[in-house]
Homo-oligomer: A and B are copies of this chain.
Amino acid sequence: MSTPAMRSDAQDVYRRYLSSVMLHGLASAKACGLGASDLYVLNILELAGAMTPGEIVTRTGLTTGPTTRLIDRLEAAGYVRRVPAPDDRRKVIVEPVGKPAALDETMAPARRRVGDLMRGYTPEQLAVLFDYFERATDAYQEANDELRAAED
């Protein structure tokens, strides 16, 4: 099937790029039996590090019931681990466990291709790309905070 490979303008290129990233992420998650909320929380943990269920509640906007079972699912699937908080024995800390085989495997085709792609760039070009990756990560996180703040 023919996708129009015409030269689009920059915004189109970027939108298509974002769509492809989303698409791949969602497809990978589904292939691992993860729902959207599970993936959502997993990404939060990836970005912000270990946190308590209560913090997950405030970040996701879910209530505590579903959150507990979401953590149960993630824990059962081996994506996170519950450890007691040292300072407060009521609390539990949910910490991500190194990406396990299932998710790692579904990511493999993309990782290989992106790896190949990156090997085609010079060190200077790679520096630009990774500078962008780091700054864009912050930008999206800030945008998320803004979104969340706007909803309350």
Q: B3, A23: Cβ atoms under 8 Å?
A: no
| 5 chain-A/chain-B pairs, Cβ below 8 angstroms | A13-B137, A17-B136, A20-B47, A21-B22, A27-B147
User: Are A20 and B132 touching (Cβ within 8 A)?
Assistant: no
Closest to A12 in B: B46
Within the complex, what minimum Cβ distance (angstroms) separates A151 from chain B?
Answer: 7
Q: Which chain A residues numbered 23 to 51 have a C-beta less than 8 Å away from chain B?
A: 23-28, 31, 35-36, 39-40, 43-44, 46-49
Query: In the complex, A48→B109 CA distance in Å?
Result: 20
Of the four ranges (under 10, 10 to 19, 20 to 34, 35 or more), the interface on chain A belongs to: 35 or more
Copies in the complex: 2
Closest to A15 in B: B46
Q: How far is the CB of A15 from chain B (nearest CB, A)?
A: 7
Q: Interface 1/0s, chain A 56-99, versus B by CB < 8 A?
A: 00000000000000000000000000000000000000000010
The answer to whether A44 touches B23, judged by C-beta atoms less than 8 angstroms apart, is yes
Given B16, B39, B49, B125, which contacts A4 in the complex, CB threshold below 8 Å? B49
Contacts A132-B129, A133-B17 given: A139-B121 contact, CB under 8 Å? no
